[in-house]
């Protein structure tokens, strides 16, 4: 890729065209496929929607851009964001502004057009000119083959979990995030019969230029609870272990948010060791361990721009990402209002150990099994 860029895109009209793209704020794709949520076929329609936004046909997304605004043939939209410059809360905040601007702030004319006036000095679209010789076309075709193989290997699955949501979890006097993370550990243990190094992203925005810190959510306490659920144990013991696991998870999350996590410090030590030219067996081992379960919660309505209860049609299904490890899962979840949690699950078809749909079913069951421990009465469940 670097050699092809140097050979074919560093001079003449190609350099000028590429420079125009790379200096643009973002990239717009007018996708010729149709994607939308279908109530009559929610699973396949959402899976297709997510997979298209993640990689499309590979040649119709500019993955190096800050973000791609993707507009499908039937008018639905979505984003594909490059991760180095921002984290999910930034993209989520931006997207909620997009969702709320037309219907809530501007409104529509009687003909159905957006209100507002086009900027008078906006230039019209211009076709970029490229000179692509045969050798460059060969390089492009080769890269596309590699990209398509990677994209086709992604097993992407979305679960709109509507059996219960944040409202009922709070009645259990449990942190919703801890509840979900413990459910993920139980599901993973049932799926693979073992535990793994688990990544949960925590924000460090209390600090200037803060980004993220890692919550290592596969704790001793969570493992003890998961084991109790697959062994023959009384409900009281399981509930006790669950509460201990939830308390521990909240402690770790608070530490991560307030600068008390360990992973960014470990990375800093790694960078310093490279600068000093010193090898560290400890750092090599710690930083080479794969995150076979990588998780993240997408925050919703950091600023309340519209009422989700009154406008359910503006509810976003959230965002997702690919698996970090070849034999692992990527799980992103978004808590929507009081009664809905969307899970985005990804893995690789090529791994005999993973299956996104199977894992999704196990997550559902784990959520229900944990809730059952609290034996809430009918009024709470109503």
Per the annotation, the verdict on 157 as an active-site residue is no
Q: Are residues 195 and 343 in the same domain?
A: yes
pLDDT digits (tens, 9 = 90+) for 313-360: 777 788 899 999 999 999 999 998 889 999 999 999 999 999 999 999
Domain that residue 196 falls in? 155-258+290-381
Query: How far apart (Å, rounded) are the C-alpha atoms in residues 214 and 79?
Result: 25
Q: What is the distance in angstroms between the CA of the first residue and the CA of the last residue of the chain? A: 57
CATH number of the domain to which 310 belongs: 3.30.559.10
Residue 86 placed within a domain: yes
Angle CA(156)–CA(99)–CA(28) in degrees, nearest 5? 65
Host H or E run for residue 379? helix 378-381
Residue 169 placed within a domain: yes
Q: Are residues 172 and 219 in the same domain?
A: yes
pLDDT > 90: percent of the chain:
74
Query: How far apart (Å, rounded) are the C-alpha atoms in residues 372 and 164?
Result: 12
Catalytic residue among 55, 83, 249, 265: 83
Q: Are residues 325 and 179 in the same domain?
A: yes
Q: Are residues 216 and 142 in the same domain?
A: no
Say whether 296 sits in a helix, a strand or coil. Answer: strand
CA distance readout (Å), 53 to 318, 321, 343: 12, 10, 16
pLDDT digits (tens, 9 = 90+) for 270-320: 999 999 999 999 998 998 999 999 999 988 766 677 777 777 777 778 889
Overall number of domains in the chain:
2
Q: Are residues 221 and 195 in the same domain?
A: yes
Name the domain boundary from 91, 122, 152.
152
Residue 137 contacts residue 144 (beta carbons within 8 Å): no
CATH number of the domain to which 42 belongs: 3.30.559.70
A 10 A CB-CB count for 4 gives: 15
Q: How confident is the model at residue 127 (pLDDT cuts 50, 70, 90)?
A: very high
Mean pLDDT of the chain: 92
Q: Are residues 147 and 174 in the same domain?
A: no
Q: What is the mean pLDDT of residues 43-62?
A: 94
Q: Are residues 171 and 64 in the same domain?
A: no
Name the domain boundary from 152, 183, 216.
152
Q: Are residues 45 and 56 in the same domain?
A: yes
Q: Are residues 148 and 159 in the same domain?
A: no
Residue 119 pLDDT > 90: no
Say whether 267 sits in a helix, a strand or coil. Answer: helix
């Amino acid at each position: 890729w670097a050699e092809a860029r140097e050979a074919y895109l560093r001079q003449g009209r190609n350099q000028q065209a590429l420079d125009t793209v790379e200096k643009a704020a973002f990239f717009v794709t007018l996708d010729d496929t149709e994607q939308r949520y279908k109530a009559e076929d929610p699973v396949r329609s959402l899976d297709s929607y997510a997979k298209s936004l993640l990689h499309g046909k590979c040649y119709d997304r500019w993955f190096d851009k800050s973000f791609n605004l993707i507009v499908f043939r039937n008018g639905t939209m979505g984003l594909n964001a490059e991760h180095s410059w921002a984290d999910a809360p930034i993209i989520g905040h931006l997207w909620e502004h997009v969702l709320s601007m037309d219907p809530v702030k501007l409104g529509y004319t009687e003909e159905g057009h957006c209100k507002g006036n086009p900027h008078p000095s906006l230039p019209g679209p211009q076709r970029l000119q490229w000179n692509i010789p045969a050798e460059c076309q060969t390089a492009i075709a080769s890269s596309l083959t590699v990209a398509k193989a990677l994209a086709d290997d992604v097993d992407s699955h979305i679960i709109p979990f509507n059996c219960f949501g944040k409202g009922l979890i709070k009645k259990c006097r449990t942190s919703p995030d801890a509840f979900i993370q413990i459910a993920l550990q139980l599901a993973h243990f049932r799926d693979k019969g073992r535990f793994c190094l688990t990544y949960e992203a925590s924000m460090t925005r209390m600090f200037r230029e803060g980004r993220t810190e890692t919550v290592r959510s596969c704790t001793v306490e969570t493992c003890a609870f998961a084991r109790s659920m697959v062994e023959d144990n009384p409900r009281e013991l399981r509930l006790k272990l669950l509460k201990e696991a939830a308390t521990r998870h909240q402690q770790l999350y608070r530490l991560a948010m307030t600068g008390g996590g360990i992973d960014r410090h470990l990375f800093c030590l790694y960078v310093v060791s490279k600068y000093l030219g010193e090898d560290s067996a400890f750092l090599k081992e710690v930083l080479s361990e794969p995150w076979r379960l990588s998780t993240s919660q997408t925050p919703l309505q950091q600023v309340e721009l519209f009422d989700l209860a009154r406008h359910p049609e503006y509810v976003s299904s959230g965002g997702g990402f690919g698996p970090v490890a070849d034999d692992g899962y990527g799980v992103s979840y978004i808590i929507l209002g009081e009664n809905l949690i969307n899970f985005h699950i990804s893995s690789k078809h090529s791994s005999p150990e993973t299956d996104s749909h199977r894992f999704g079913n196990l997550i559902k069951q784990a959520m229900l099994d944990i809730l059952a421990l609290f034996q809430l009465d009918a009024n709470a469940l109503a």
